Amino acid sequence: MDFLNALVLILDSTIRLSVPLLLACLAGLYSERAGVFDIGLEGKMLAGAFAGAAGAAVTGSAWLGLLCGILVSVGMALVHGFASITHRGNQIVSGVAINFIAAGSTIILGQAWFQQGGRTPALGAAQRFEAIELPGAAALRDVPLIGQIYSELISGHSLLTYFAFLMVPFTWWVLYRTRFGLRLRAVGENPAAVDTAGVSVAWLRYRAVICTGILTGIAGCYLSMVQNAGFVKDMTAGKGFIALAALIFAKWKPVNAMFACLLFGFLDAASIRLQGTPIMGVRVPVQLMQALPYILTVILLAGFIGKAIPPRAGGVPYVKER
Amino acid sequence: MAELAIALSGINKSFGPVHANRDINLEVQRGTIHGIIGENGAGKSTLMSILYGFYQADSGEIRVNGKPVSIKTPNDAIAAGIGMVHQHFMLVENFTVLENIILGAEGEPLLNKSIAKARSELARLEREYGLEVDPDALIEELPVGLQQRVEILKALYRGADILILDEPTGVLTPAEADHLFRILKQLKEQGKTVILITHKLREIMAITDNVSVMRQGTMVATRETKGTTVEELAELMVGRRVLLRVQKGEANPGEVKLSVRNLTVRDSRKVTMVDDVSFDIRAGEIVGIAGVAGNGQSELIEAIAGTRRAVSGTVMLDGKPIDVTGTADPGELRDRGLAHVPEDRHHVGLVLAFEEAENSILGYQDKPQYLNGPFLNLKAIEDDARAKIQAYDIRPTNPHLRTANFSGGNQQKIVLAREIEQDPGVLVVGQPTRGVDVGAIEFIHKRLIAMRDAGKAVLVISVELDEIRSLSDRILVMFAGRIVGERGPEATEGELGLLMAGVEHKEAAE
Amino acid sequence: MSAPFAKLPRWADYGLIPLINLFVAFIVAGLVVMLVGENPFRAAMILVEGAFGRGQNIAYTLYYATNFIFTGLAVAVAFHAGLFNIGGEGQAYIAGLGVAFVALSLDTVLPWYLTFPIAIVAAAGFGALWALIPAYLQAKRDSHVVITTIMFNYIAGSLMVYMLVDVIKPLGSMAPQTRPFEAGAQLPKLNWIIELFGAKIRSAPLNLSFILALIMAYLVWLLIWRTKLGYEIRTLGFSSKAARYAGISESRIIIITMLISGALAGMMALNPTMGDQHNVSLDFVSQAGFVGIAVALMGRSHPAGIIPAAILFGALYQGGAELAFEMPNISRDMIVIIQGLVILFAGALEHMFRPTIQTLFASLSPRSVGLAAAKKEGA
């Protein structure tokens, strides 16, 4: 039973740690499937985390905070779109710029507005998304295994957690069952086909980039309003890049993305939990666990375990050919 | 007579300084197959792209079914009942046939209904026109002929009454092309109007009702196909050009320098472009390869020069093999005395952002005379460039000017000077005078003949039949990846034209 | 939009447009300053004063600039081959390991002038090694170097934490860093050069690495524009088809270029470790690898542009520190915003103002833009 308890605890924190990755990863999926590469997930998430916490602190409402987070993140996504869709700039360069602007401005504005060394004021219960008890969770708590899994693993998360996991089938549905999804996938593969079919490539890509902004905004809000009670500088700490790695690892597919994020979340949870305690007599350095998502992604990119083929038109601005 | 499906009047279109369409008038009768023929760059594709809303004309009027329409985007064209099958297919390769067909014409936001509708509609079209294709197959797994069929279905699904096909047979095998023509005739019988853009005379004669001829951006004539001949159309296409015949003496062929045996080359889409080709070139002769663009000439010289891998076959240079299917490298071939003037000087033969002098050593950057240890010998490179500028009359004469600032003719001279002055035993030249002004053409031809007279083997490919006839001591004609005939320099244009159109080849095969 | 490559005079292309882009970046930064309730003009004054006001400040400015010259050159060399090396951060970080090995084993044995060359080789070697795997994967397996170098930045981060906390840290010490370097691994300061001009300096970290950075800038210029290798790198960068035609092996050039790029980024590690802190500590690179991207973009990948751009960013870092003293609402993170804005306007949006400027030039003097003007009228 001890082992089971430990396992449930680890899996529970796996879910918590996967949520921001999953949201950011699905965010990147919309943009990259439409042919706009985005290494600025990190920055948009950070800006969303700040704006969400700041908005919640000022208005006193978690929902208005969430709205602020989404708006700011979408604004940055539109800057990326303006540079890479309208002006056909280098998408990598633009993403790097977004990350810097977000990293700097969240601290400067936080300090100027709240005078707490770049933090936002601590958020109270009404300003956060609290855990939700699913019906029957208390009653089932004592049923062995199933009850424990239901009440501790599945129940007791915030609304945003359930939202994140519901986004997986929803994204799959959007991508493969709607007109928008069909066009989105097409524009990432062959924008000329979309153009000659009479659909605007630019508008389609802008819409994709807006979807990215919405989801990175929510991912950021999860960090500052669920996982923590307020914004702390640099609180994304590379999660945007792990999400990017997960996206590649998932070969740009939504259900794979969920498993990739759960895997990377599990590695994170395990490294926190183990803190260097030996596994089967071998002491695995925490840092190795932390680096594992990146190492796995590089191995995948190298084509040693399957091949990650990005959307064919990814990273290339669309220019009508003569 | 029948009503007009399309009436264009006074269409003009420029791309920068290039006047691609000049005051074009065109009338296409409903329910006919109307051919538009012209050489490469005559402006056919531009005109059709305007009709399809991909570009907008600078001036002019478009009428569809008698009504003036404004076509600003492909959507407008689709709404007016115009569909287009592009030369390069506009298909998403990892989508299914069905997904490609509904893309942009889904109707409603959710796909399940539109897919079901498309499936039954597709079944109807298949029955009606004999266009069978598996709706759930992935495009990338279909052969080219079927991919094209999907393009046609795409247009029909959108309710096209007028179908434009841009060089549809360029990527097809002869059997596939015949099948396509049967489909087009079927479409005509069902009352559709078909516009066929091509540069192949055989196709025009085989299936069109009327034909319009374009030359250098203008519409020069429209004929009823029954009332015209291949000879007349060929003359209209080419115009009465001043024949630039360079004076040359008898060829004096010596030993075999380059020997090609059973060479087969595929392009990136795995389509066989060069099919079991064999020939020899001797010292002191110019061999020209004639053929309509896209019949494998480009891939042939790229494989010989080491910039493209061959699938099978052997090539011997001075009696020693070149590893054309493996490690052949342009650098190694230069060392062995094979120089190459590529067809595409803008992206391959030159780096336009480089100074002229830098381009004058491209490919020869390993030669000791240009180096001081690991450093470039700038003095030597500049002196060398100046000498070439003088000898080839390259203008402007500043070797430090960016190459992009030179005219097409002078850029070509930069490439030729570089390759010829290395004194190669074999020179392979692609499109020696494409985009080159008249004055430079004569100069370039004289240089090539001088190479021959100095006992070098020269291989020339060109889409300009005149050029081939004027330069070559022997003419090989390529059609559909094969060499379909060899003629002497005295061969007439008509004779070669028929070979290039694959006519004789087909008859011989039957 | 018809002619994105229409000709402008060289000075407009290499001088005017970058300056306009920079200017716009600073205007937006000024708006941020206003947003936090400070006067942007006063902020700019304090910044300039803080960066160049006294000899002391100049020395600090040049110390920071040293880092950025190295990382800027690293990014620029890769750019010339058409490669985007985002991994300068990780390459410099790992190079710290090489410096640590050399310094810790030789600092009591050899004088600094013998340790230094060995440390240069070690730093360059470790940096190059860290770039080798992404380079190899790009050259042979077609994995995009941008993504792999990002991943390698994080792997480097984890590896260095492990090395510093669990391996190199002296017993009994709490701080995740090496033991202090002895005199044999301390680089001489260069503050006396500034004192020659009459300034007084109490202590500032400007050291011999600055000279090394200048030498590297010269060598990079020599490499790119004066050697056969540089010729091949540029050919590949402009057109991979032309490179193939010219018999240049694409994978060979990718690997060599990335090794050089990684080596340059690696040398950056010398400045803060042997030059200033006299140890190797956590996060000693502190984003210099990323600043290199901004520096290379602004300097148009030419050493003659990279050095002033690096000094500009050095001034921002040093002046920004002073600014944080004077204006409590503005911390050094203001610099990070400016960096981001410079990358955005000088990089991703570099062509935004070009059409306007071309039209302006065409209307002022139609002859100077020649064909471009004619094209515009036609289109």
pLDDT band at B260 (very low <50, low <70, confident <90, very high): very high
Nearest to B348 among C242, C371, C375 (CB): C242
- Residue where one domain finishes, among candidates B238, B267, B294: B238
- Looking at residue B67, its pLDDT comes to 92
Please tell me the distance from the alpha carbon of residue A165 to that of residue A22, in angstroms, as a whole number.
Answer: 8
Cα distance from C340 to chain B (closest Cα, Å)? Answer: 29
Inside any domain, residue C326: no
Answer whether residue B2 shows pLDDT above 80. Answer: no
| Domain CATH for A249 | 1.10.3470
- The full 3-state SS of chain A, as one line of letters, equals CHHHHHHHHHHHHHHHHHHHHHHHHHHHHHHHHCCCCCCCHHHHHHHHHHHHHHHHHHHCCHHHHHHHHHHHHHHHHHHHHHHHHHCCCCHHHHHHHHHHHHHHHHHHHHHHHHCCCCCCCCCCHHHCCCEECCCCHHHHCCCCCHHHHHHHHHCCEEHHHHHHHHHHHHHHHHHHHEHHHHHHHHHHHCHHHHHHCCCCHHHHHHHHHHHHHHHHHHHHHHHHHHHCCCCCCCCCCCHHHHHHHHHHHCCCCHHHHHHHHHHHHHHHHHHHHHCCCCECCECCCHHHHHHHHHHHHHHHHCCCCCCCCCCCCCCCCCCCCC
Q: Which of B74, B84, B112 sits opposite A177 (nearest CB)?
A: B112
CB B297 within 8 A of CB B287: no
- Contact map slice: C 21-40 vs A, CB within 8 A: 32, 35-37
pLDDT attached to residue A276: 61
Same domain, B159 and B293: no
Chain A residues within an 8 Å CB radius of B138: none
Residue pair B157/B105 in contact by the 8 Å Cβ criterion? yes
C155/A291 touch (CB, cutoff 8 Å), yes or no: yes
Q: d(Cα A149, Cα A133) in Å, to the nearest integer?
A: 13
The mean-pLDDT minimum among B172-181, B298-307, C180-189, C240-249 falls in B172-181
The residues on B that touch C, with CB distances below 8 Å, are 14-17, 306-307, 329-332, 334, 340, 342, 344, 347-354, 358, 362-363, 365-366, 371, 374-376, 378, 404-405
Q: Which residues are bridge partners to B21 per DSSP?
A: B13
Do B121 and B205 sit in the same domain of this protein?
A: yes
Q: Considering the domain boundaries, does residue C140 fall inside one?
A: yes
pLDDT of residue B439: 75
Inter-chain CB proximity B92 and A177 less than 8 Å: no
Q: Is residue B385 part of a domain?
A: no
Is B150 found in the same domain as B289? no
Closest-CA residue of B relative to C3 is B16
More confident residue, A321 or B65: B65
> What is the chain B residue with the closest CA to A177?
B111
Residue-range definition of the domain harbouring residue C178: 65-313
In terms of CA atoms, which chain B residue is nearest residue A186? B92
Residue of C nearest to A115 (CA): C329
B234-248, B402-416, C142-156, C335-349: lowest mean pLDDT where?
Answer: B234-248
Question: Is A225 a member of any domain?
Answer: yes
- CB distance C201 to C194 below 8 Å: yes
Q: A245 and C86: CB-CB below 8 Å?
A: no
C352 CB neighbours in chain A (<8 A) are 87
Asked whether residue A140 is assigned to any structural domain, the reply reads yes
> Whole-angstrom Cα distance, residue A195 to residue C58?
55
- Sequential pLDDT tens for chain A (322 residues): 577 778 888 899 999 999 999 999 999 999 999 999 999 999 999 999 999 999 999 999 999 999 999 999 999 999 999 999 999 998 988 999 999 999 999 999 998 888 888 888 988 888 888 888 888 888 887 787 788 788 878 888 999 999 999 999 999 999 999 999 999 999 999 999 999 998 999 999 999 999 999 999 999 999 999 999 999 988 998 899 999 999 998 999 999 999 999 999 998 888 887 776 666 677 778 888 888 889 988 888 887 766 777 888 888 888 876 4
**What pLDDT score does B236 carry?**
82
Q: Which chain A positions have a beta carbon within 8 Å of B77's beta carbon?
A: 198
Is B420 in the same domain as B483? yes
Amino acid C5: pLDDT: 42
C364-375 pLDDT, tens per residue?
A: 765 544 443 333
Cβ contacts of A202 within 8 Å, gap of 6 or more: A85, A86, A318
Handedness of CA B44, B45, B47, B52 (dihedral sign): positive
Q: According to the model, what pLDDT value does residue C38 have?
A: 87
Let me know if residue B128 belongs to a domain: yes
CB contact under 8 A, B14 and C2: no
Among chain C residues, the shortest Cα distance to A97 is held by: C340
pLDDT digits (tens, 9 = 90+) for B354-404: 999 999 999 999 999 999 999 999 999 999 999 999 999 998 899 999 998
**pLDDT score, position B156:** 92
Query: What whole-number distance in Å separates Cα of residue C29 and Cα of residue C319?
Result: 15
B225 vs B237: CA distance, rounded Å: 15
Q: How far apart are CA A217 and CA A210, in angstroms?
A: 10
pLDDT one-digit tens code per residue, B82-106: 999 988 889 999 999 999 999 998 8
Is the pLDDT at B409 greater than 90? The verdict is no
Reference C217, options C62, C76, C64, C18; nearest CA is: C76
Q: For an interface test with A, give the residue of B13, B21, B72, B92 to mutate (most A CBs within 10 A).
A: B92
Same domain? For B175 and B268 the reply is no
Q: Indicate yes or no: CB of B16 within 8 angstroms of CB of C2.
A: yes
Residue C376 has pLDDT above 70, yes or no: no
pLDDT of residue C175: 84
pLDDT (tens digit, 9 = 90+) per residue, B322-365? 999 988 899 999 999 999 999 998 899 999 999 999 999 999 99
Dihedral sign of CA atoms B366, B367, B369, B370 in order: negative
pLDDT in tens, C48-90: 999 998 888 999 999 999 999 999 999 999 999 999 999 999 9
Confidence of residue C358 (pLDDT cuts 50, 70, 90): confident
Q: How confident is the model at residue C7 (pLDDT cuts 50, 70, 90)?
A: low
Residue A83 burial by Cβ neighbours in a 10 Å radius (0-12, 13-18, 19+): buried
**Inter-chain residue contact B75 with A198, CB threshold 8 Å:** yes
Chain A nearest-CA distance from C157, in A, is 8
Position A156 in a domain: yes
Whether residue B242 has pLDDT greater than 60: no
A-contacting residues in C 78-137 (Cβ below 8 Å): 84, 86, 133, 137
- What pLDDT band is residue B419 in, cutting at 50, 70 and 90? very high
Same-domain check for residues B78 and B24: yes
The structural domain count of chain A equals 1
For the segment C295-337, what is each residue's pLDDT rounded down to a tens digit? 998 888 999 999 999 999 999 999 988 888 888 778 888 888 9
My answer on whether B445 and B309 are in the same domain is yes
In a domain, C270, yes or no: yes
Give C 3-22 residues with CB within 8 A of chain B.
3, 5, 7
Q: Regarding predicted confidence, which is higher, B10 or B178?
A: B10
Report pLDDT for C1. Answer: 32
C-alpha span between B341 and B364 (Å, rounded): 13
Number of structural domains in chain B: 2
At C168 the pLDDT is: 86
Q: Cβ of C335: how many Cβ atoms within 10 Å?
A: 27
Residue B111 to residue A182, Cβ atoms within 8 A: yes
Strands of the sheet with B457-461, listed across from one edge:
B338-341, B426-430, B457-461, B285-290, B474-479, B482-487
In DSSP terms, B13 is beta-bridged to B21
| Tokens 């590690």 found at | C269
| CA–CA dist A239, B61 (Å, integer) | 57
Residue-level pLDDT at C368: 45
Neighbour subunits, C (≥3 Cβ pairs < 8 A):
A, B
Task: Give the chain A residue nearest B41 (alpha carbons).
Answer: A322
- Residues C122, C124, C130: CA angle, nearest 5 degrees: 100
Which of C 223-242 lie inside 8 A of A, CB atoms? none
pLDDT of residue B428: 96
Q: Kindly determine whether residue A178 and residue B109, on different chains, have CB atoms separated by under 8 Å.
A: yes
What average pLDDT score do residues C137-150 get? 89
Q: From the candidates A39, A41, A84, A105, which should be mutated to test the interface with C, based on the most C CB atoms within 10 A?
A: A105
Q: What is the pLDDT of residue B508?
A: 43
Interface of C with B in 238-277 (CB under 8 A): 238-239, 241-242, 244-248
Between positions 174 and 233 of C, the ones with CB within 8 A of B are 222, 226-229, 231-232
Q: Would you say how long chain A is, in residues? A: 322
Complex ipTM value: 0.89
pTM of the model: 0.87
Grade residue C98 by pLDDT with cuts at 50, 70 and 90: very high
Dihedral sign computed on CA atoms, order B68, B74, B77, B83: positive
Angle at B294 between CA B292 and CA B300, to 5 degrees: 105
Q: Would the pLDDT of B408 be above 80?
A: yes
Mean pLDDT value across chain C: 89
Angle between helices C17-35 and A91-114 (to 10 degrees): 30
- Closest-CA distance of chain B to residue A199, Å: 6
CB-CB neighbors (< 8 A) of C7 in chain B: 405
Query: Which of B209, B238, B267 delimits the end of a domain?
Result: B238
- Facing A287 at nearest CB: one of C159, C343, C349: C159
Q: Which of C137, C159, C348 sits opposite A94 (nearest CB)?
A: C348
Two structure tokens written together for A225: 């309003």
- Please provide the DSSP assignment of B46-112 as one string: HHHHHHTTSS--SEEEEEETTEEE---SHHHHHHTTEEEE-SS----TTSBHHHHHHTT---SSBHH
Q: Do B74 and A197 make contact, defined as CB atoms within 8 angstroms?
A: yes
* Residues B449, B484 within the same domain: yes
Total domains, chain C? 1
Rounded to the nearest 10 degrees, the angle between the axes of helix C228-238 and helix C209-226 is: 70
B80: left (phi over 0), alpha (psi -120 to 50) or beta: alpha
Give A11 to chain B, closest Cα distance, Å: 36
What CATH number is attached to the domain comprising C100? 1.10.3470
- Measure the CA–CA gap between A112 and A126, rounded to whole angstroms: 24
pLDDT above 90 as % of chain C: 64
**pLDDT tens, residue by residue, B190-199:** 899 999 998 7
Write the CATH number for B192. 3.40.50.300
Distance from the B155 Cα atom to the nearest Cα atom in chain A, whole angstroms: 9
pLDDT of residue A305: 66
More confident residue, C117 or B503: C117
Number of A to B CB contacts under 8 A, please give it. Answer: 70
Please name the residue ranges forming H helices in B103-160: 111-129, 144-157
Strands B4-15 vs B18-29: parallel, antiparallel or unpaired: antiparallel
Nearest residue to B494 (alpha-carbon basis) of B138, B232, B211: B232
Domain that holds residue B325: 256-355+415-509
Q: What is the DSSP letter of B402?
A: B
Strands across the sheet containing B67-69: B18-29, B4-15, B59-64, B67-69
List residues in chain B touching A: CB distance below 8 A.
15, 52, 54, 73-75, 77-78, 84, 86, 88, 90-95, 99-100, 102-106, 108-112, 114, 154
Handedness of CA B318, B320, B325, B329 (dihedral sign): negative
